[in-house]
Amino acid sequence: MSDQNPVFIPGPTNIPDRLRAAMHVQTRDHRAPDFVETFAPVLEDTKKVFGTTSGRVITFPASGTGGWEAALCNTLSPGDKVLVARYGMFSHRWIDMCERHGLDVQLIECPWGTGAPADKFEAALSADKSHSIKAVLVTHNETATGVKSDVAAVRGAMDAAAHPALLFVDCVSSLASMPFEMDSWGVDIAVSGSQKGFMLATGMAILGVSDKALAAMEAATLPRTFFDFKDMMGANASGGFPYTPPLQLIYGMRESLKMLLEEGLDNVYARHTRLAEGVRRAVGAWGLELVAQTPDLYSDTVSAIYVPSGFDSNALTDQAFNQYGVSFGVGLGEMNGKAFRIGHLGSLTDVMVLSGLATIEMAMADLDYPIELGSGVAAAQEHFRSKTGAAIKSAA
């Protein structure tokens, strides 16, 4: 496949040259004084992206999945009850992880295409008079369905039930692309990774952790060494790492934060909204439907789109890849064969999005979808045109 074409998978994202250069660093000594000077500000600046001043940031050389495991192991004990809703592949995986780690999962099944059910959470929490539920787990942006959940509403539910459970949020595919307010939403652990909104290579799990979560460590008996918060915080305090740090990613993270803060987080979010809306206009022009059931659930980082009845979404993504050299997200889990996904996060321009829309239109036409070539492109062009301003031309 041509390296020249952008990818439209919902992460890892297209990596801007600036960040590729930043990660291209030669080996340096991670025990030398200059590493300290590099790493401490990275942790500090990342707090701005999480929307926290009271929490702290902890990273591990791992993927986002490793970040989830770290969240559970450091705060919970075998047999602890957790409250989770399943409404997509990534919320499903988190449930699976809880079960494997011996947690007692109180599960709320929801239709795929919906988000975290604050009302049902409130009911469950209110019913839990003994406070046996130790944590509520929410996937902020369900990458499989393109659904953004309302974390503030979940916090509201917990408060309404006056329940002391911890609130854990998977923001892997939302952080640094959509607003995240760890402090005001009362999130205790937020889990993300390097390869989405931070536009870096895969390999660093990035967590925001509240004091309340840290306090829970003392009683937590799930075993942990690699993912131990205390070891990491202790080493970080003196500028070190409990084992070999992923130096290239840390340098990349430093530059990524510079890019994000130079553009301004609000501008970053606005850009994602504009790009996402362009895609949604195209979907409308094609006469197709999003998996996300209502506009308040629409994700600004990924759109999952149902193919028409009788069509196979895998054939569509295969055609786009094999014939035109462009990768789109396949339908995952329940959505396999039924929906494809367009990732529109990270370092992306209007121009790049239009090339993705033009490509998928050709693939749809090749497979005799009832769509008109250029129609989605035109709808997105109209949207992108109507928005003017200095920020538009820049990717990030």
Are 197 and 166 contacting, i.e. CB atoms less than 8 angstroms apart?
Answer: no
Alpha carbon distances (Å) from 154 to 67, 124, 139, 196, 333: 21, 12, 11, 24, 25
Q: Would you count residue 219 as binding a second copy (CB under 8 A)?
A: no
Q: How far is the CB of 190 from a second copy (least distance, A)?
A: 18
Q: How far is the CB of 207 from a second copy (least distance, A)?
A: 14
Q: How far is the CB of 303 from a second copy (least distance, A)?
A: 17
Q: Would you count residue 6 as binding a second copy (CB under 8 A)?
A: yes
Alpha carbon distances (Å) from 125 to 121, 129, 139, 163, 374: 6, 8, 18, 6, 50
Interface residues for a second copy in 32-51 (CB under 8 A)? 32-34
Q: What is the maximum alpha-carbon separation in the chain?
A: 62
Q: Would you count residue 30 as binding a second copy (CB under 8 A)?
A: yes
Interface residues for a second copy in 102-121 (CB under 8 A)? 102
Of 41, 111, 264, 325, which lies in the binding site for a second copy, with binding defined by CB under 8 A?
325
Q: Would you count residue 218 as binding a second copy (CB under 8 A)?
A: no
- The DSSP string of 263-301 is H-HHHHHHHHHHHHHHHHHHHHHHT-EESS-SGGGB-SS
Q: Would you count residue 394 as binding a second copy (CB under 8 A)?
A: yes
Residue 77 or 273 with smaller CB distance to a second copy: 77
Binding mask of the shown chain, residues 172 to 201, with x at each position contacting a second copy by CB under 8 A: ---------------------x-x-----x
Residue 114 or 299 with smaller CB distance to a second copy: 299
Of 51, 155, 349, 369, which lies in the binding site for a second copy, with binding defined by CB under 8 A?
349
Are 48 and 263 contacting, i.e. CB atoms less than 8 angstroms apart?
Answer: no
Interface residues for a second copy in 371-390 (CB under 8 A)? 372-375, 377-378, 381-382, 384-385, 388
- The DSSP string of 23-83 is TTPPP--TTSHHHHHHHHHHHHHHHHHHT-SSSEEEEESS-HHHHHHHHHHHH--TT-EEE
Of 225, 237, 295, 368, which lies in the binding site for a second copy, with binding defined by CB under 8 A?
225
Q: Would you count residue 249 as binding a second copy (CB under 8 A)?
A: yes
Residue 165 or 371 with smaller CB distance to a second copy: 371
Q: 33-50 and 247-263 are packed helices; what angle lies between their axes, rounded to 10 degrees?
A: 50
Residue 120 or 387 with smaller CB distance to a second copy: 387
Q: Which of 247, 200, 201, 275 is nearest to 49 (CA)?
A: 200
Binding mask of the shown chain, residues 68 to 107, with x at each position contacting a second copy by CB under 8 A: xx--------x-----------------xx--xxx-----
Could you tell me what percentage of the chain is helix, strand and coil, using 3-state DSSP and rounding each to the nearest 5?
45, 15, 40
Q: How far is the CB of 93 from a second copy (least distance, A)?
A: 8
Of 2, 53, 238, 309, which lies in the binding site for a second copy, with binding defined by CB under 8 A?
2
Q: Which of 131, 124, 93 is nearest to 106 (CA)?
A: 124
Q: Which of 168, 193, 186 is nearest to 116 (CA)?
A: 168
- Is 100 annotated in a binding site? The answer is no
Annotated binding-site positions for substrate: 341
